[in-house]
Amino acid sequence: MVSSLLYLFMLTSQSDASLMSSGHTYARFEQMPGEVMEVTFYYEDGSVRQTGFVENNLMSGEWITYSEHGTVTARAYYEEGKKTGKWKVYDEEGELVYKICYKNDVKLWCIHSGGDVNGSDLAEK
């Protein structure tokens, strides 16, 4: 389970170019107003694997990754293709495992559900 969780997190944290060519079986790109496209990737069985937005050919806004059973396994945020904001990574049961904070593509902190090196609990951030 940890390996699939890490894969889903890595998938979410990839750049837009590698994401578009990452070998998904199905993908849907829906043009929105302006330069925005809504992107949805699917598992082979047709269930949603990941959703998000691309603006001016860069990942933008919230990207959500799902398990094959439909549970949210990651919530990530991008601004002009750069990682930003508070990301959350969940296990297959939907329990929060990590919180990671990015600003301008730089990781500021990461907290595991067991607490970080300072003993902080996830609920505190």
Query: How many domains is the chain built from?
Result: 1
Task: Choose the weakest-confidence range: 5-9, 25-29, 87-91, 109-113.
Answer: 5-9
Q: What is the CATH number of the domain that holds 39?
A: 3.90.930
Q: Which domain holds residue 61?
A: 2-124
- CB under 8 Å to 122, separation ≥6 — which residues? 96, 99, 111, 113, 115
37 neighbors 57 (Cβ within 8 angstroms): no
Confidence of residue 113 (pLDDT cuts 50, 70, 90): confident
